Amino acid sequence: MLNSADVPPAILALGTAVPPFSAAQSEVGEWMAASFAGRPALQRLIRAIHTLSGIERRHSCTPEYLLPPADSPFAPGQDEANTLSTSGRMAIYTREAPRLGETAARQALEEYADQTDSTYAAVAASITHLVVVSCTGFFAPGLDFVLAARLGLPADVRRTLIGFMGCAAAFNGLRTATDTVGAHDDARVLVVCVELCSLHGQPSTARDSLVSASLFADGAAAALVGRPAAHDADYFQLDEFITRMQPATEDQMIWQIGDRGFDLRLSPQVPEHIAQVAPAALADLFGEHTPGFWAVHPGGRAIVDRLADLFALPADALAPTYAVLRDYGNMSSPTILFVLRRLRDHLRETGASASRAARAPGVAMAFGPGLVVEMARLRYVPARDAAVAGAPVAALDTARP
């Protein structure tokens, strides 16, 4: 008989949320182009960037984002004096980030309550640790403190804030949660990623500023991590994490606090730098085996296309990644959890979860400033297998990497 310590930690439930204000990518492109009236070459470049982005819609926490350029404090190409200061942007973050994070976290906790025939209050009371991830704003008492209170978590919940680590930071949050559960068998860790990227639009006409303005959006996601019990179902078992920092690439992706929000510098060479590191990292996780599924952070169409070519993936292997990019853009740290949720729902709805291939280990990966590549090996455990006395899927599938 396996005891709880024999069962690896898992993502037991997921929640996602986007703010209510959204626009079609084509609308955003026209809005940006209108900001540069009288500069037709720049307008053509802006329209081309938006058309080729692979994005159809993005969300923002503020309706001011797409006011006519002359009236919007976020429109590019205007005098800096007409844009919001960093303190003004942080005031919006302080107001809006807790709302969005709470929505995603409640969804995850309610999902787990439904799966286990429990109540929201009981699940919230069981949370021992809260890990909050964000790189788009700060205030104190922090987002972690506010979320704990709003969600009704225990007064002694242990809080951790992972800040300013960029698009790959969900992996730092999940790794922290996994290590915590590994050290405390009864731990239940709620990981919440919240990013309001749209707050940091810049007036610059530099190409990297225009590209980032065409790519990033707002969103939040949450994951409940713990040791699965016999009644748990439909979860991702977290087997192993790996980090690879690439030397001499510190200038390829830079995220800095400026006077008018946070400034992003993004090199067009990022996809190639990632391609230099990703194969060796994947080999360290899987050896000669091929992942059974792929959950890749949609950092941008160029990155995803490069990885699809690099690993010679079939057309549908990155379908969840491309779908999230299409529907939401790049929301920074929460985005990989959106991909995992879409992948899980696809496996659940198609019945593919019952197959051996679906139970084979898969890979999740993301990329951030450094440059750094973060990966995790994980296994999808479908509902029918979860009833096997809490046994880890490794005990059911001996074809381990």
d(CA 382, CA 83): 50
Question: Which residues are annotated as catalytic?
Answer: 167
pLDDT value for 352: 54
* 20-38 pLDDT tens trace: 999 999 999 999 998 888 8
Instruction: Judge whether 163 lies within some domain.
Output: no
Instruction: Judge whether 257 lies within some domain.
Output: yes
Tokens of 290: 């091929």
- Whether the pLDDT of residue 160 is over 50: the answer is yes
Instruction: Judge whether 304 lies within some domain.
Output: yes
Instruction: Judge whether 97 lies within some domain.
Output: no
Peptide bond into 199 cis (omega under 30): no
Nearest to 145 by CA among 107, 93, 102, 108: 102
Instruction: Judge whether 250 lies within some domain.
Output: yes
- Whether the pLDDT of residue 244 is over 60: the answer is yes
pLDDT above 70 as % of the chain:
92
d(CA 282, CA 304): 15
Question: Rounded to two decimals, what is the model's pTM?
Answer: 0.92
How many C-beta atoms surround the C-beta of residue 396 within 10 A? 13
> How many domains does one find in the chain?
1
Average the pLDDT over 300-321 and give the result: 95
pLDDT value for 53: 95
Burial of 100 per CB tally in 10 Å (0-12, 13-18, 19+): buried
User: CA torsion angle for 275, 277, 278, 283 (degrees, to 10)?
Assistant: 130
pLDDT value for 214: 93
Q: DSSP letters of 209-276?
A: HHHHHHHB-EEEEEEEEE---TT--SEEEEEEEEEEEPTT-TTSEEEEEETTEEEEEE-TTHHHHHHH
Instruction: Judge whether 397 lies within some domain.
Output: no
Instruction: Judge whether 225 lies within some domain.
Output: no
pLDDT band at 5; cut points 50, 70, 90: low
* 106-124 pLDDT tens trace: 999 999 999 999 999 999 9
Domain encompassing residue 265:
235-390
CB 216 within 8 A of CB 74: no
**CATH number for position 239:** 3.40.47.10
Instruction: Judge whether 239 lies within some domain.
Output: yes
